Chain A
Amino acid sequence: MRASETNDMTGKIRQISRSLLEAKEADYVIGYELETDGSVCPVFIDCPEEVEKLVWNDRCIHNLASFLKKTIDDGESRVAIVSKGCDVKSIVALLQEGQIVRDKIKVLGVDCSGQRDEKGNLLLKCKLCRDHRPLLYDSLIANERVDVREFDVDSVDYSEVEDVEKMSVEERLRFWKEEAEKCIRCYACREVCPLCYCVECFTDQNLPKYVPSTPSIKGNFLWLLMRTFDLAGRCTGCMECDRVCPVDIPLHLLNRKAIKDVATLFGYEAGRNPSEKPLLAVFSEEDPDEFIK
C-alpha cells in the first residue's frame, strides 16, 4: 500500500471516530495503533483527543471482532469497530448467533487489498480472500485502488487442505500427532477466536471431566479436534488462531478442512448474511443423510 493511501484512510478513520465519540454515538472505538517495532496492535479509544492513535496500513492483521465478545458481558456499551472484510464476516457470524446487538455496534468498514507479515509477505488468508470490501458496514472507508468485484465462489483454493487429504491415514495420524504434541494448552486460539465465546469451555468442564486439562497427547488431540468440530459451519476462516499459536501448530488446516466440507456437503459459507441461521442450527429435509442406514 502506498503511503498516500494509508494516510488518506487513516485520516478518514480518525475523522469518523472523532465524530462518533464527540456525538456520543459510541462509548469507545476499537481500532489499530502503531507499535514501536513497526507492527500494529489493537487499541481502545475512549475520547476524541485520542483518535490520533488510530492508523490504517497493511500490517493491520488482528481480527478486532474478537473484542466484541467483551460487549457480550457488558451488554450496554456502544462500540465502534474498525473492520476489514474478513473481520466483518466474524461480526456477521456473531449477529447470526444472537451474540451482539446490531444497533450497539458501529462498523467502520475498510477496503483492504491484503495484509502483510513482518517480512512483507502477503498473508495466506489474504491470498484466499474474496471480501476486499466488507459486506456490511455503517461507514465505509473506501479505497479506489482496491478491487471490490464479487469473486467467483467456485474459485476458492483449498490446496493446503487437499495436500493433507492426499496423505494416507497413517501419514496423517503421524502428522497430527507431531503437531498435537507441541500444544501447550495456552488457549490463545480459543481466546482470539471471535466465535469461541462459551461461558464455560468444554475443556474446563468438571462434572464429568471428559477432556484432560493436561497437555498430554490425548488431551491435546481432543482439544484440537473438538474445537474444530465446535466451529464447523461457524468459522469464517480469519486464521487468527493460526497467527497466535506460540508453537506454530497449523490450525488453519483443521478449520479450513471444516470450511471445505461444509461448503461441499451443504453449499454453505459462514458469516455472509446476518439474517441467515447458522448452518448446524437448522435442519432441512434436503440435508444429506446417506450416513443414516
Chain B
Amino acid sequence: MTARVGSRVDGVEESIYKPYNGRIIWMREETPDITTFRVALEEHEVVDSFTSFKPGNFVLASVIGYGEAPFAISSPPSQRGSIEISVKRLGVLTQVLHELCVEDRIGLRGPYGNDFLRGEPKGKNLLFVAGGIGMAPIRSLIHHVLDDRKSYGEITILYGAKSIADIPYKKEFKRWDRMDGVDVVLTVDPGGETPDWDGRIGYVPNILTELNTSPKNCLAFVCGPQIVIKLSAQTLSNWGFKSRDIISTLENRMKCGIGKCGRCNVGHIYVCKHGPVFTYEEIMKMPNSDY
C-alpha cells in the first residue's frame, strides 16, 4: 500500500484523502481496551507495493460515518497481504472500531510518516522501552528486526502497563524472551500486580534504571506516554547514550496526515510529515512549551 499522492502513473487523478478499502481478517482483544486488527486490502485495490511500509509508519483508519484517526502499524513489513493496527478505545472512532467484527470494513489511508530505522542500525545492540499503547509501533519494529536476527546484536525489551490485564501481546513477549540474545522485562505499575506475577513491579522509567544497559554500540527506542519518554531519555543520557541514538515517536492530533490541515505541528515540525519518529536530539530542539 503506497500513499496516494494525487495523481497516478496512468494519469488518473485521485484524491489524497481517499482511503483504500480494507477488511478485517482477524482480530484479537489484547486487553480490556486494546484490540489488534489485521486488515487486508480488497482485491481491486492497488496491492503491488502493499508491504512497502517501514516500521514507524502510521495509517489513518476510518469507519464510514465516524471519521478517521491515526494508528501506528504494529505488524512488520514481512507480513504479506495485510497490516495490523492495535487500537486503544478512547473516543468516538475507537469505540466504533472496537465494536467491529471479522469481515467488517475498515478504510485505510497511508502509509505515512518516517521510519525507525533511518540511519545504520545493523550490527547494533537494541534496547526497546515502551509503555501503554506505545508498544504498538515498537512491536512492528521488533518483529522486523527479528526477521533478520543475525544483523543485530543483543536485544532488550522493557515494557510496562498499568496492570497485568493491560499488557498486550502477552504470547509474543513470552516467545521473544525464549529467544537467544533477547531479554524481555515486563513490569506493572505498583498495585497492578497479582500474587502470582513474576515480572517486575514499578513504573517503566524506574525499572529502566535497574537495567544498566551499556550505550556502547546500542540504539534505544522509547515509545509511550510523554513522561515515560522524558524520564527514560534522561536515564539513557546519564548512561552515556548519545541523544541521536535515543529514538522515539511523538503523537499529536491529526486529521489529514500529510501536512496540510496544519494542526499536528510542534514548532515548524509536522508530526505527520516530518515524524512521527524523532531522535531525542531532534525532540530537544522543539519548543517544549508547545507540546
Indicate whether A and B are direct neighbours in the complex (CB within 8 Å). Answer: yes
Indicate whether B46 reaches chain A with its CB closer than 8 angstroms. no
Q: Which residues of B contact A (CB under 8 A)?
A: 91-92, 95
Could you list 6 examples of A-B contacts with CB < 8 Å? A206-B91, A206-B92, A207-B91, A207-B92, A207-B95, A209-B92
Which A residue's beta carbon lies closest to that of B66? Answer: A209
- The minimal Cβ–Cβ distance linking B17 to chain A, given in whole angstroms, is 15
Distance in angstroms between the alpha carbons of A9 and B91 in the assembled complex: 54
Chain A residues, Cβ within 8 Å of B95? 207
In the complex, residue of chain A having the shortest beta-carbon distance to the beta carbon of B91: A206
Give the size range of A's interface with the partner.
under 10
- Which residues on the B side are within 8 Å of A207 (C-beta)? 91-92, 95
* Chain B hits for A206, CB < 8 A: 91-92
How distant is the Cα of A206 from the Cα of B96 in the complex, in angstroms? 13
Closest 4 A/B residue pairs (Cβ): A206-B92, A207-B92, A206-B91, A209-B92
Name the residue on B nearest A208 (C-beta): B92
For B93, the closest partner residue in chain A by CB is A206
Q: Which of A190-220 contact B (CB under 8 A)?
A: 206-207, 209
Closest CB in chain B relative to A220 CB, distance in Å: 20
**B-chain residues with CB within 8 Å of residue A209 when the two chains form the complex:** 92
Complex Cα spacing A206 to B69, Å: 14
Shortest A152–chain B CB gap in Å is: 53
A207 to B92, CA, bound (A): 7
| Distance in angstroms between the alpha carbons of A206 and B66 in the assembled complex | 11
Q: For B91, what are the chain A residues with a Cβ–Cβ distance below 8 Å?
A: 206-207
- B62 CB, nearest partner CB in chain A, Å: 15
Which chain A residues lie closer than 8 Å to B92 at the CB level? 206-207, 209
Q: Please, how many angstroms separate the alpha-carbon atoms of A196 and B282 in the complex?
A: 40
Closest beta carbon of chain B to A82's beta carbon, Å? 32
Q: Closest Cβ of chain A: how far from B253's Cβ, in Å?
A: 12
| Shortest beta-carbon distance from B209 to chain A in Å | 37
Least CB separation from A209: chain B residue? B92
Bound together, the chains give a CA A131 to CA B100 distance in angstroms of: 61
Instruction: Tell me the smallest distance from the CB of A117 to a CB of chain B, in Å.
Output: 35
CA distance A207 to B91 in the complex (A): 8
**In the assembled complex, how far is the CB of residue B66 from the closest CB belonging to chain A, in whole angstroms?**
10
What CA separation (Å) do A206 and B95 show in the bound complex? 12
Q: Contact string, A201-243, partner B, CB cutoff 8 A, digits 1/0?
A: 0000011010000000000000000000000000000000000
Instruction: Tell me the minimal C-beta distance from A179 to chain B in angstroms.
Output: 29
C-alpha spacing A207/B96, complex, angstroms:
12
| CA–CA, A209 and B67, complex, Å | 12
Q: How far is the CB of A206 from chain B (nearest CB, A)?
A: 6
Closest beta carbon of chain A to B72's beta carbon, Å? 22
Interface flags for A149-162 (1: CB within 8 Å of B; 0: not) read 00000000000000
Cα separation A206 to B92 with both chains bound (whole Å): 7
Bound Cα distance A72, B143 (Å): 51
B255 to chain A, nearest CB (A): 12
Q: Give complex CA distance A206, B93 in Å.
A: 10
Q: How far is the CA of A207 from the CA of B95 in the complex (A)?
A: 10
Closest chain-A Cβ to B98's Cβ sits at a distance in Å of 14
CB distance from B90 to the nearest CB of A (A): 10
Closest to A206 in B: B92
Nearest-neighbour CB distance to chain A for B268, whole angstroms, equals: 26
What separation, in Å, do the CA atoms of A206 and B67 have in the docked complex? 12
Alpha-carbon separation in the docked complex, A207 to B67 (Å): 13
- From residue A284, how far is it (CB to closest CB) to chain B in Å? 41
CA A68 – CA B79 in complex, angstroms? 58
Compute how far the CA of A206 lies from the CA of B91 in the bound complex, rounded to whole angstroms: 8
Complex Cα spacing A231 to B24, Å: 47
State how many angstroms separate the Cβ of A207 from the closest Cβ of chain B: 6
Within the complex, what minimum Cβ distance (angstroms) separates A211 from chain B? Answer: 14
A246 to B92, CA, bound (A): 32
B182 → chain A closest CB, angstroms: 41
* Distance, CA A209 to CA B93, complexed state (A): 12
A67–B91 Cα distance when bound, in Å, is 32
